[in-house]
Amino acid sequence: RRELDVTDPDACRRLLASQAPDAVAHCAAYTDVDGAEGNPPAALEVNARGAGHVARAATEVGSLLLYPGTDYVFDGESEDTYTPDDPPRPINAYGRSKLAGERAVREAGAPWLIVRTSWLYGRGGRSFVDLVRERAGRGEELRVVDDQAGRPTWTGSLAPALVELLERGPKGPGGELLHLADRGTTTWYGLAREVIEREGLKGSARPVSTEEWGAPAPRPRNAVLDIATGEAALGRPMPHWTDSLGRYLERGRS
């Protein structure tokens, strides 16, 4: 926001006109899932309208636009993994705002690449992994949901992959929709336990159900993306989430 307010269409046009980039990675987003449930217009303003402003500005200068999407565009009722061909049915305001952002990007006219990903953590924000490390490091017992499944994904493994996909460009009329995340699946409890064990923390994690946790926004029980399309486009496999987590935690100790 310090460099560009994506909710300001004129600011988006001015910046892209001054830079005329070959490609734009639009990673700005409203990511507070529970906050979005209490204030849907705020999420829509950034995730949908903001995406549209950036996409139209990219169209005017002929830039390729990359838009990172989310596994939360699905309802989680499937017993299988979700492919890009599966119809999205978001069950919370955050997911609806991100799906609206996808549509805004598609309709803007710029060549586009939408890459849905999952359960991100990494530098530059206070992620679930950081929260577990902080609280379990103080010796706390954490109540963690154990009936929601997904693919934890380190931004350190995703970001280079996105750059490679940008260099490759979309394959398809107008653009391309892909799914990409680290390999392997777990629950939030499984992820928390892995962090605690790897770091040798004093605290512990106790599994609870989604109902017991009682978050304001509903979450999909199964948010596991089928990443075959993304890996095929990338031309290589993504790392397993446990390997990525180990690298992230090791960097945090150095």
Instruction: With cut-offs at 50, 70 and 90, classify the pLDDT of residue 239.
Output: very high
In angstroms, rounded to a whole number, what is the distance separating the alpha carbons of residues 29 and 52? Answer: 12
Give the pLDDT confidence of 69-105 residue by residue, as tens digits.
999 999 999 999 999 999 999 999 999 999 999 999 9
Beta carbons of 51 and 105 less than 8 angstroms apart: yes
What structural domains and CATH numbers belong to the chain?
9-253 (3.40.50.720)
pLDDT tens figures, 118-164: 999 998 778 999 999 999 999 999 999 999 999 999 999 999 999 99
Share of the chain above pLDDT 90, in %: 94
The reported pLDDT for the residue numbered 172 is: 80
182-236, pLDDT tens digit by residue? 999 999 999 999 999 999 999 999 999 999 999 999 999 999 999 999 999 999 9
Q: How many CA atoms lie within 13 A of 170 on its CB side?
A: 20
- In this prediction, residue 178 carries a pLDDT of 98
| Higher pLDDT, residue 142 or 252 | 142
Work out the pLDDT band at 247, boundaries 50, 70, 90: very high
Q: Report percent pLDDT > 70 for the chain.
A: 98
Sign of CA dihedral 151, 32, 40, 116: negative
Give the per-residue pLDDT at 252: 77
In whole angstroms, give the CA distance from residue 21 to residue 127.
Answer: 30
What is the pLDDT at residue 253? 62
pLDDT at 1: 52
Residues belonging to the active site: 94
Q: What is the DSSP string of the chain?
A: --S--TT-HHHHHHHHHHH--SEEE-------HHHHHH-HHHHHIIIIIIHHHHHHHHHHHT-EEEEEEEGGGS-S--SSPBPTTSPP---SHHHHHHHHHHHHHHHHSS-EEEEEE-SEE-TTS--HHHHHHHHHHTTPEEEEE-S-EE--EEHHHHHHHHHHHHHH---SSSEEEEE---B--EEHHHHHHHHHHHHT-S-EEEEE-HHHH--SS---SB--B--HHHHHHHTSPPPBHHHHHHHHHHHHH-
Contacts of 21 (CB under 8 A, 6+ apart): 61, 63
